[in-house]
Copies of this chain bind each other. A is one copy, B any other.
Amino acid sequence: MTAVSAAQSQQVDPDELVARLRTHARSYHSLHPFHIAMNEGTLTPDQIRGWVANRFYYQENIPIKDAAILSNCPDTTVRRRWIKRIVDHDGLEGTEGGIEAWLRLGEACGLTRDEIVDHTHLVPGVRFACDAYVTFARTQPWTIAVASSLTELFAPDLMAERLAAFEKYYTWIEPDGLEYFRNRLFQAPRDSEHALEVVTEHCTTPELADAAEAALSFKCDVLWSMMDAIEGAYGG
């Protein structure tokens, strides 16, 4: 048995892998100064609008990213669950999804629908980071692309904190506009649970476990880099 095949046959303990993945909460963008300021209620309306307008590009690209994973995934059972993410964002005919909910958030903040959709305020660094995420999903093995979605493990805490902050400090925003955050409170845990199942089932060798961890680290960098670019454009 060669060193490589010996290493490959060595199984990774799923609980240990989950614990390793969870440590990446330390690099989650909730700790970015701009996010801390947001949740402390000290951002100006212009800063909030800048964040909402820029973050829309991320929202827009989520179903594109998830369809890329779907297209690389040969497992029908996984696809049947993964496709819900696309429906959550795009909606179905006659229903509205997350992209529409985000546009409403933008309108509630005083942006027009056109200036959001036309990327009037989109900062290059945000575009590059989101495009890098889509490229990652298109070109990496699907299980590793799934691992990159695991920032959702950390999302519910941030979302709950953000929702409370918006309701308390940014009362100039129409409360109906916050529906997107409310939906993600239950969607994100369901999604991350599925992604964790996939990753722990498939990433059973040290090499694949390392790749899964690197994917999550990369995704933390994507989100952090977006915050840097937004802070650079709108001030910290």
Contacts and interface: CB of A to CB of B under 8 A. Distances in A.
A69 to B, nearest CB: 8
A67 B64 contact: no
A87 interface: yes
A133 to B, nearest CB: 13
Copies of this subunit: 2
Contacts of A97: 76
A79 B90 contact: yes
B99 A90 contact: no
A148 to B, nearest CB: 15
What interface size band does chain A fall in? Answer: 20 to 34
B70 A93 contact: no
Interface string A72-86: 111010011101001
Residue from A83, A87, A92, A93 with most neighbouring chain B CB atoms (10 Å): A83
Nearest to A138: B71
B64 A80 contact: no
A177 interface: no
A180 to B, nearest CB: 15
A50 interface: no
Interface of A: 60, 63-65, 67-68, 70-74, 76, 79-81, 83, 86-87, 90-93, 97, 99, 138
Given A64-B72, A76-B99, A80-B90, 10 more contacts: A63-B70, A63-B76, A64-B74, A67-B67, A67-B71, A71-B71, A71-B138, A80-B91, A80-B92, A83-B83
27 contacts: A60-B74, A63-B70, A63-B79, A64-B70, A64-B72, A64-B74, A65-B71, A67-B67, A67-B70, A67-B71, A67-B79, A68-B68, A68-B71, A70-B70, A70-B86, A76-B90, A76-B91, A76-B97, A76-B99, A79-B90, A80-B90, A80-B91, A80-B92, A81-B93, A83-B83, A83-B87, A83-B90
